[in-house]
Structure 1
Amino acid sequence: MVVGRMGSLSAKRPRARLSRRVRRWLLSGLAALVALVFGAVLLFAFVPVPTTPYMLAERGRLGKVAYDWVPMADIAPVMARSAVAAEDANFCLHWGFDIDALRQALDGGARRGGSTISQQVVKNVFLWQGRSWPRKALEALLTPAVELVWSKRRLLEVYMNVAEFDEGVFGVGAAAATYFQVEAAALTPVQSARLAAILPDPKGRSAAKPSDFVRKRAASILDGAATIRRDGRDACFKG
């Protein structure tokens, strides 16, 4: 009987050691991943974002993408105000999450979106596309960290540079050249509003040949950008 018990214990010990080893590997891998992500958060506070997971996926699908980083100083200020008016009017007032917008999104169901520019930057730069709960949970964890490290001006700069404006066209620099054959610094208020108007659905809308819907949305964004400038809600990102 004693021998049987000893044999059973001897068999369990290697399994226990293997289990502990696997847990250590998993924890080490998780710690390395967390360190890598937060290292990237610190790095991209100063360095242009070279690419994103979605850009890599689109490059693999399409063969190439148009992407040219443009510093904030070389983007027309009205384009920055238009992006904020279109996507996150309270951008300067929140710390990464707009609770009022989220409530409206929940009340409006699938017809409305509650993501701030900060959340969209985290999703586009560090995570993957889609609406899965794991991604939303990681987005919720990373957004405050990015808000803490990056300035609002930097957040908006990255947002305008990594946003998709057409199939395979990323960033306001490539979008300005593709749609209007101008540099980002030369965008007019109308052109800026049209680019901002297509951001929620860049593959289904066109800034160069706008539908009636895009024209109406752009007109609303134009008014919103002027209002943001007038009431000072551009204070956190204007030069």
Structure 2
Amino acid sequence: MDIEKEKNDWSDEELEAAVEGYLKMLAIEKSDQKLNKAHENRLLREGVLMNRSRVSIEYRMRNISTVLHDLCLPYIVGYLPAKHLGAGVTQRVRAAMIAKGAFDPDDYAPTANDQTLNTKVQKLEQREFIGIPRGIDKPQRLNGTISTFFRDPLVKTWVLKEANGVCEGCGQDAPFKQANGSHFLELHHVKHLADLGSDRPSNAVALCPNCHRRCHYSSDRDEFTASLYTKVKRLKPE
């Protein structure tokens, strides 16, 4: 059977069956039980996926891993994310995963509202993170009385987790903990979004309020900002 053709003609029912099988296997793997992927593949081919080949199902599982990887969620170790997954396939796989309750898409949706962003971050901070989020290369500006930008909650969550309660500017502990127990640090885009900076981990740092204001208002803000590229190795000039 032509695998390329199979990739494009899966029904919604088949995609949901694949996602259900994947989530079952992921639960087995996360519980430290021995996962027999060949056995699970065979079970799928005895049900809704009876017309699909073993190889085709394995490739679909890698598609599912890709979606989880893009959300920095854990995925099955034996199903590495597939590269060059088309937008149409990604959208359909995501829809099938949402239908099965794999994740809430609203948690990951970019927002220009600071309060909404922080609410999303507080939820995402409770989850296991795998990999580095892509972020937004060119954040969309929302014009109003005050101009704001749509930002990726995954990026802020990841950067704060990476800082682990320590300001990436001065190296001191965060000044206090918030009501939910997380350390209070602020996200700063080294090249400002208003200057066409990206909302990506390579352009964002977690700073204490003092260092954050220093980047914006101090007489040595340019020198201090330049020093961040030496202190935080993931940063890349834009």
TM-score by shorter chain over 0.5: no
Bigger Rg, structure 1 or 2? 1
Q: Tell which has more relative contact order, 1 or 2 (C-alpha 8 A, sep 6+).
A: 1
Instruction: Give the structure with the higher percent helix.
Output: 1
For Structure 1 versus Structure 2, the TM-score category normalised by the shorter chain is under 0.3
TM normalised by structure 2 equals 0.24
TM normalised by structure 1 equals 0.24
